[in-house]
Amino acid sequence: MSNKVEWYAIHTYSGHENKVKANLEQRIKATGMEEKIFEIVIPSEEKVKVKKGKKTVVKEKFFPGYALVKMIMDDDSWYVVRNTPGVIGFASAGTKPIPVNETEMSSVFTSMGLEEKKADIDLEVGQSVKVTEGPFEDFVGEIQEIDFEKEKLVVLVSMFGRETPVELEYNQVEEI
């Protein structure tokens, strides 16, 4: 087996993902596996739900029944993970666990808000755009500034006969 640190998907009983994570963290310490098993992630994102007029923030799993484990796969680390209560098995081809590829992991981290997703926009300073949502919907203005880090634009819109700078998200404007 390899000495490469990779992410693996483990199948758990649905609804027991957090319990499996806690069990696995305890087993890693108890078996001294900190040098082979590094991190356990339950892919989830925070969503705002409204129930009876009250907003609550809930963590919603986007792969129910799975946890992701960053580890060096060998017989010992495999045994510790595989024999943790609540773990059904590794996502695998036959009997050989298959690592999750970097693109998929990047996508998971982006969805969780742990990794920045860089939007590619085809807009430039001086270009005219139409605001598609928010309080300035349907206003037309000229891009004055683009902040690629924060994915925001400053657009000059004409309000009450004056040019007014408005900060908008990339997804709030469209090309004209």
For 143-168, how does the pLDDT look when each residue is reduced to its tens digit (9 = 90+)? 999 887 777 899 999 888 899 999 99
Same structural domain, 84 and 35: yes
Q: List the domain range (segments joined by +) for residue 55.
A: 5-112
123 in a structural domain: no
Same structural domain, 91 and 138: no
pLDDT for the residue 16: 95
pLDDT digits (tens, 9 = 90+) for 97-138: 999 998 888 888 888 877 654 555 678 899 999 999 888 999
- According to DSSP, the β-strands at 96-97 and 92-93 are antiparallel
Question: pLDDT at residue 1 above 60?
Answer: no
pLDDT for the residue 119: 55
Same structural domain, 102 and 133: no
Burial class (CB in 10 A: 0-12, 13-18, 19+), 12: buried
pLDDT for the residue 53: 78
User: What CATH number is associated with residue 101?
Assistant: 3.30.70.940
Q: Closest Cα partner for 123 from 138, 144, 150?
A: 144
pLDDT for the residue 118: 52
pLDDT for the residue 93: 83
Whether pTM > 0.75 for this model: the answer is no
Could you give the number of structural domains in the chain? 2
Helix (H, G, I), strand (E, B) or coil at 176: coil
User: What CATH number is associated with residue 137?
Assistant: 2.30.30.30
pLDDT digits (tens, 9 = 90+) for 5-38: 999 999 999 899 999 999 999 999 999 999 999 9
At residue 45 the predicted structure's pLDDT band, cuts being 50, 70 and 90, is confident
Q: Which residues of 17-47 are buried (b: 16+ CB within 10 A; e: fewer)?
A: bbebbebbeebbeeeebeebbeebbbbbeee
Same structural domain, 15 and 94: yes
Same structural domain, 132 and 49: no
Determine the Cα–Cα distance for residues 144 and 162; give it in Å rounded to an integer: 15
120 in a structural domain: no
Same structural domain, 94 and 137: no
Tokens of 161: 């006969």
Confirm if 44 and 112 have CB atoms less than 8 A apart. yes
pLDDT for the residue 11: 96
Question: pLDDT at residue 72 above 60?
Answer: yes
